Structures are given as C-alpha cells and as structure tokens.
Amino acid sequence: MIFLNTLETVDVGAGAVPVTFTNRARWCLNGNPIGAAAPACLGAWYDDVPGVGGWLEAPTKEAIITAKILKDRLIVYFERSTWELVYTGNQVLPFVWQTIDDQLGAESTFSSVLFDKVVFGVGQSGVHQCDGMRVSRIDDKIPYEVFKIHNGNSGVERVAGIRDYSTEMVYWTFPAAEDNPVFPNRMLVYNYKNGSWSFNDDSITAFGYIQNTDDLTWGACSYTWEEFGRLWSSGLNQSLTRTVLAGNQEGYTFILDAEKHSNAPALQITDIDLAVLPLINITVINHNLQQGDFIKLEFVQGTTNLNNYIFKVISASSAFPNTFTIEQQPGLVPVGAYTGGGVISRVSKIDIQTKAFNFYQDGMRMAIDKVDFDVDKSSAGQLYVNFFSSTSRTFMADESIINQVNMGNYMLDTTAYPIFPQEANQKWVTRPVYIQAEGDCIQLQLTWLDEQMYDIGNMESAFELNSMTFYAAPTGRRL
C-alpha cells in the first residue's frame, strides 16, 4: 500500500503535532499493510528496517495533487509537474521518482480521469493528458476556458471529473469565475470521440457510478409517459448498467441521463418572500445561482402561481450566499405564505457558436443568403439564429431587425408545420433561415431569447442539430 501527500506524527508524546509532507510517498512492506509484526498494525510500516516499509520525497517543493494507475504504472500529478513513482524491484528501495514533465501538472485532486492509454487532469494551464511518456494539452480548441475556473473559495479543489462510457464523454464540474461562486455552477463536457467541447449549467459538486440492481418495469415506474423523458429501451432501464451519478452541496443525488433534456430539481427552497412584489426573494441554502440564470420552480406549497413556471434571477450576490431575487412574470401574481416542499431546477440556455466560415480562398469575401438547418423534430421548439460578419461582434440579426432590412424573423422552428402534413411522420425537418450576410467570414450563433426561455414548452423540447447547408457566393477580394 502506498500513501501520497501524507500527514504524519514525527515526534511522540503528548505534544506531538502532525506534519504534512506534501511531496512524500510512503509505502508498507510488500504484503499485508496491517501485518501482525509487533507492534500490532505498525510492523508493516517501519522505515528504519530495510524491506519493511519506507518513504521517499520527490525532488520538488510542489505538492502531490492526484494520481492514477495507468496499466501497471503509477502516474502522479503535482501542482505544475507530472511524475511517475517507478517500482524498482529492490527490497531496500522499491520505488524511485521519475520526471515525465516539469511544466504541466494538475491542480484539482478529483479532476483526474483514467482512460485505457492516458490519464486526464485539470491543471492551471489547461486540461492535460499523460500517457506515461509525455504530457500534452487536449483543450487546444478552447485554450482560454480553463482560466475561468474560479480560484477563490477553494475553487480548484472543487473541480471533479468522471468518464461516461455510454455517451463517450468526460464531465468536469467547476465553479465559473463570474461572481465569486462557492460551489460549482458549470460543467465542462469533452466528447473524446470527435474532440468537441461544450459547457452545461448545473448544480453538481461530485460524481460517481451506480448500477441498478433490477430492470425497470412499468409497474415500478413512478413517472407518467410524458414525464419519463427517455426511451423505454434505454440502457439506463436495464439492471447492472453502470451509469454516472451526480450529487451537489445540498445532498441531492441524481443520475445523468443523456436522453433527458432538462436539469434535475436539485436545489431546495427554504423560504419565499412576497413582501416586495413584483420582486420575489427566495432563500436557498448554499445555492450556486447568479444574476441572469433561469430557473424552474416545482412542488411549491402554500404559495400559488409559481409551480411549473420559469423565472430569471435578476439579483444574486456572494455577499448574501443563501438568497436571490426573481421577478414575477406579467399577469402571474403569486399569493399565500410558503409552507415548504419547493425545489428548483436550473434551466440551461443554449448558446451554440459555429466557427467563422469562409468557403473561398485567396482573400475572397463571400455572402451567405440562406442556411438550411436539418434538425430533429420537436413538440414545441424554437431557437433564434444570430450571426456575425467578419471580425465584428455586433449581432447582425438584431441590427437587421432594428433597421427593418431583415428577410424573416431569424427564428429556427423545430416543430412540424401543419401546412406540410407529411412532416407529422418525419423524424427530421429542414428549416431555412435567411441571414443575408456578407464579409470576410461569417459566424452563426444559435441561442434562445429571454421570451423563449420563459416558454416552458420550448424549454422542455429537445434540440438536436444534424447538419447545416450554406448557400454562399464569392463577392470580391479583400482590399
């Protein structure tokens, strides 16, 4: 047995104080770590008898952060370097430290994720992988996002990662740096099959695995068909299927289901104050919500006209970590004293940005008149398509509507149109959006407007983009 970054009592007696050896590896004899050699349970850990335990400190002042066994090799991440604790086979000195990389390490203990050939870890300069020979960044497509992990409030210690075998993704939960959060409020998602990245908004502090012991039967299911949210033939319904389990700072645990397109109700409401309507003050112990977030309220008792509605957080501050403020929706007047039972689920806002496209070479500018989106059909879904021209960050769709030069409303509907009866039986639908853009390059943004976020039907509709077809033409060379 090997211990890393040990806490040891150096002296004996009443005044002995434990000392942390952050760069130390300590091991027992090759055998039972609680062997019967006298004194009981300690004989296996002697460091003054050759072959009966020992220790070795790495030649660095950095602290050991995390470690994983990659095949038969122990890879150890320090703060800013990566090492291997190599087994020598020598009974007197069975282990030695070997440097793999003296620049790249990991800052978060629970961020390490084991793969077949590499170990992932989140460091201060990027998300790294180590194959036992070298260490390299894997987040070169998003090189600056790792710096958004908040360092205050033990932020780097709160990063946790796990591999989802069924979806072939890796999840890291972390506290984003916008407003000094204490608990993680975002999740970094890495698709290791196609190398893509994304962010999810959620309330998760830890990950694990769970295996259901029994097959899910219809008689044992507590959901209606409308609420179920996933295929009946899904592997999550089968016994002994390993799935990812998540938990948060309030003690909620829930399964991460890739086929479900809404967040879990995982924040408990302690109090609701209606004294300053239209503002509503809500108390949620240890919440991780920030100004601009959207939430859905459910199971509220005593206070009416709040359940199953979506609200926007208009005020939240780290100075008041247990309270935040929402605003009542027009025409929706809550009344009554809160008596308990309420829970909150976060409502994530889609914000997809494409790469900056230019389909021509040799300095040619181009124009895009129309984009056809091939999307999965939904029950009530709609998105807003914005776009940028050249390197400008002005939202061109917004400007076109203001100046009344738009062709259409830039809305991407994912529902079936009644005027096309055949779409009722289709799984996918194709929707054109006329963007009328010209420049050195064109970049699209697919998102939701605030008024769309308040639409519960829209928020509970799945969105899946299968392909895009651009209608482009060259317009001349850059000057």
In-domain check, residue 124: no
Answer yes or no: are the C-beta atoms of 426 and 416 closer than 8 Å.
yes
Among 308, 330, 347, identify where a domain stops.
Answer: 347
SS3 225: helix
What pLDDT is stored for residue 179 in this prediction?
66
In-domain check, residue 336: yes
What pLDDT is stored for residue 372 in this prediction?
96
Among 261, 291, 326, identify where a domain stops.
Answer: 261
What pLDDT is stored for residue 408 in this prediction?
78
Q: Do residue 227 and residue 318 come from a single domain?
A: no
**Nearest-angstrom CA–CA distance, 241 and 417:** 39
What does pTM read for this prediction?
0.86
**Nearest-angstrom CA–CA distance, 456 and 461:** 9
Which residue segment(s) compose the domain that 22 sits in? 1-99
**Based on the number of CB atoms within 10 Å of its own CB, is 336 exposed (0-12), middle (13-18) or buried (19 or more)?**
middle
Other Cβ atoms less than 10 A from the Cβ of 351: the count is: 11
Torsion-angle region of residue 147: left (phi > 0), alpha (psi -120 to 50) or beta? Answer: alpha
What pLDDT is stored for residue 138 in this prediction?
95
Strand partners, 206: 247
Torsion-angle region of residue 441: left (phi > 0), alpha (psi -120 to 50) or beta? Answer: beta
Distances from the Cα of 19 to the Cα of 79, 154, 157, angstroms:
19, 21, 21
In-domain check, residue 309: yes
Q: Do residue 325 and residue 304 come from a single domain?
A: yes
Q: Do residue 385 and residue 417 come from a single domain?
A: yes
**Based on the number of CB atoms within 10 Å of its own CB, is 217 exposed (0-12), middle (13-18) or buried (19 or more)?**
exposed
Specify the number of domains making up the chain: 4
Task: Pull the structure tokens for residue 463.
Answer: 């969105």
Provide the residue-wise pLDDT of the chain in tens; the chain has 479 residues. Answer: 999 999 998 876 667 788 999 999 999 888 788 765 545 556 678 888 877 889 999 999 999 999 999 999 999 999 999 999 999 988 888 999 999 999 999 999 999 999 999 999 999 889 999 999 999 999 999 998 888 888 888 888 899 999 999 889 999 999 987 767 889 999 999 999 999 999 999 999 999 998 877 666 767 676 666 556 556 666 666 676 788 999 999 999 998 988 778 899 999 999 999 999 999 999 999 999 999 999 999 999 999 999 999 999 999 877 788 999 999 988 889 999 999 999 999 999 999 999 999 998 777 899 999 999 999 999 889 999 999 888 777 777 777 777 776 777 899 999 999 998 888 889 999 999 998 888 899 999 999 999 999 999 999 888 999 999 999 999 988 76
H helix count then E strand count, the chain: 4, 33
Tokens 């990659």 map to which residue?
A: 70
What pLDDT is stored for residue 262 in this prediction?
86
**Nearest-angstrom CA–CA distance, 80 and 70:** 20
Within 8 A by CB and 6+ apart from 57, the residues are 21, 23, 24, 25
SS3 451: helix
| CATH number reported for the structural domain that contains residue 283 in this entry | 2.40.30.180
What pLDDT is stored for residue 180 in this prediction?
72
Answer yes or no: are the C-beta atoms of 336 and 303 closer than 8 Å.
yes
SS3 162: strand
In-domain check, residue 133: no
Among 99, 128, 154, identify where a domain stops.
Answer: 99
What pLDDT is stored for residue 166 in this prediction?
87
Distances from the Cα of 137 to the Cα of 52, 64, 309, 400, angstroms:
39, 19, 42, 41
**Nearest-angstrom CA–CA distance, 73 and 120:** 15
